[in-house]
Amino acid sequence: MPLVIVVFGVLFLLLLMIGFKLNAFLALILASMAVGIAEGMTPAAVITSIQNGVGSTLGSLALIIGFGAMLGNLVAESGAAQRITFRLIKSFGVARIHWAMVITGFVVGIPLFYNAGFVLLIPIVFTLAASTGLPLVYVGMPMAAALSVTHGFLPPHPGPTAIAVIFKADIGLTLVYGIILAIPTIVLAGPVFASFLKGIQANPPEGLYKIKKFEEDELPGYGISLFTALVPILLMAVASLINVFIPDSSELKPIITFIGDPVIALLVAVLVAIFTLGLNRGKTMPEVMQIISSAITGIAMILLIIGGGGALKQVLVDSGVGTYIAELGKESNFSPLVLAWSISALLRVCLGSATVAGLTAAGIVLPVMQSTGANPELMVLATGAGSLMLSHVNDPGFWMFKEYFGLTLPQTFSSWTLMETIVSVMGLLGVLLLNIFL
């Protein structure tokens, strides 16, 4: 059975990494090949699927992670991250710093895609942990939880928005209901859950972000530091807002869409940071370029490992696992909301991609929603919540969190995977509760 092969494929991957201590990228490629052949794909088809998986994953992430790392290094090396950190510590206090990160993650996460928000906030997480002496995962988990919830629950993120289109749900109502669910979910999966993670020892890659100590007079101003860090968020938020009010026929539409694209927004932010945090602070252009080059060195292996996760995901999709699960879903008699969540969760566990899981599940349960009259906005949220369930080794997001924080596989399972599961289950419970009153 396809699901049995998937289980053995994951176990094989764990054996390679934990038992034989094989590099994660090599292990992912070998596991992808083994699963594809076991599922009945030809060797040539497996190779093509792996290439497409790596290409499609890095095609959407390489520029975002690359520009994000450049911006992050400029923010960290210039002292801007430390300036922002000092203000957060002063405003919230060390004891409540995790609340500062969850609020920051939520605000950043609404307009910004998960991956872009993650790489943008990581240098601030590193600097906060270094400045306060708090464990890195304890500081970073609230940020990751907030970004994950906004990614899975709230338009204008691609997954919820596309699912809303399939279900013909009202985008505005979906956003309102999503925020109602997001707040308690983020609190539980972020600050509350993070309090149990203080014992996890993180070992981030050397050279990723060098945390430097600055004297007060060496730091850039708070206003310019915050503005530079928020440039990509402002560009995307303003573009999204303007696009709501201008018709598709407008000549401005392509221009606004171009400016609001995460890649372009981060590129503009890097160019701004080169001036505001580099040249304007007395650095020469070669010195600024050296900071940018060192950022890329730190993410090289991270990119390969994320691509390997994308390869495994694509093999599972191309081998027909998703189609097999879809057929199983059509035979069930669950409540539409529970059915949407369950199918989306099962697809997420097997395929890895939250977006693929959500969109596939939406197509499966659409006839059920239409025949039962289920609330379309709640169906969007149930499907989105299911798509976040039990993130593990076939999810590129799993590897991003693991590699940036320098965790072992067991540590990542007990932190990232459990956090994503809490978010997913809380989403389902919240949807069922809201359904009582709507």
Q: Could you state, in chain order, the average pLDDT of each consecutive group of 10 residues for the chain (438 residues)?
A: 81 82 86 92 94 83 82 84 80 86 81 73 84 88 92 78 83 86 94 91 74 75 88 82 82 88 89 94 93 81 78 82 66 80 87 76 77 88 94 87 91 95 96 92
The pair of structure tokens assigned to 90 is 């002063």
Contacts of 337 (CB under 8 A, 6+ apart): 374, 378, 379, 382, 428, 431, 432, 435
Place of tokens 């999810």: 395
Measured CA to CA, the distance from residue 418 to residue 244 in angstroms comes to 36
Looking at residue 140, its pLDDT comes to 92
Q: What is the pLDDT of residue 235?
A: 87
Among the listed residues 158, 160, 161, 126, the one whose alpha carbon sits nearest the alpha carbon of residue 143: 126
Two structure tokens written together for 338: 């529970």
Cα–Cα distance measured from residue 392 to residue 14, given in angstroms and rounded to the nearest whole number: 11
Q: What pLDDT, on a 0 to 100 scale, did the predictor assign at position 60?
A: 63
Q: Looking at residue 7, what is its pLDDT? A: 80
Is residue 387 classed as helix, strand or coil in its secondary structure? Answer: coil
pTM over 0.85: no
pLDDT of residue 191: 92
Cα dihedral value 169, 173, 178, 184, nearest 10: -150
Q: What is the pLDDT of residue 329?
A: 58
Cβ-based neighbour number of residue 199 at 10 Å: 9
Alpha helices by DSSP H, listed for 78-214, are 80-92, 97-109, 114-132, 136-153, 158-167, 171-187, 193-194
Residues 6+ apart with CB under 8 A from 382: 337, 338, 340, 341, 344, 427, 428, 431
Q: Which residues are within 8 A (CB) of 394 and not within 5 positions of it... i.e. 6 or more apart?
A: 10, 309, 312, 313, 316, 350, 351, 352
Q: Are 53 and 311 in contact (CB under 8 A)?
A: yes
Query: For position 335, what pLDDT does the model report?
Result: 83
> Which of the 8 DSSP states describes residue 204?
P
pLDDT of residue 88: 80
Alpha-helix residue ranges (DSSP H) falling in 246-353: 252-260, 262-273, 285-318, 321-330, 336-351
Are the beta carbons of 344 and 357 closer than 8 angstroms?
Answer: yes
Place of tokens 């309102």: 176
Measured from the Cβ of residue 196, the count of other Cβ atoms closer than 10 Å reads: 13
Token output for 97: 């710093």
Structure-block tokens of residue 148: 């994950």
pLDDT at 325: 65
Amino acid at site 78:
S
Q: How far apart are CA 336 and CA 316, in angstroms?
A: 26
Output the DSSP codes for 214-273.
--GGGSPPHHHHHHHHHHHHHHHHHHHHHHHHS-TT-THHHHHHHHHSHHHHHHHHHHHH
Dihedral sign for Cα 21, 26, 32, 35, please: negative
Please give the pLDDT value at position 410.
92
The DSSP symbol for 112 reads: S
CA nearest neighbour of 101 among 140, 133, 74: 140
